[in-house]
Amino acid sequence: MYVIFVVAIALVAGLLFLLDRALKAVQQGRRRRAAGVRLAAAAALAEQAARQRRAAADASAALTTVLPAIQQGEQGPRRVP
């Protein structure tokens, strides 16, 4: 009789341990999924910003090829009397 009682307590303790591990695994999976979603959103935002910077650089380069910068030549600094 006592042996059955000890085995039942050990079985319940083992089941509670397994339940605890399963709940922790589920919680960790949820956290990882949420972090993945945040990472994907940040990557998309960074890619959009990079595209905008590239477009601005291309527009600037195109403007410079059409309208070159004014060359100053070999003049020294201007002096104000």
Q: In this structure, is the dihedral angle defined by the CA atoms of residues 65, 69, 70 and 71, taken in order, positive or negative?
A: negative
Structure tokens at 26: 């589920």
Structure tokens at 73: 């030549």
Over residues 19-63, the pLDDT tens digits come to 999 999 999 999 999 999 999 999 999 999 999 999 998 888 777
CA separation for the pair 13, 10 (Å, rounded): 5
Query: Is residue 67 over pLDDT 80?
Result: no
pTM of the predicted model as reported, rounded to 2 decimal places: 0.55
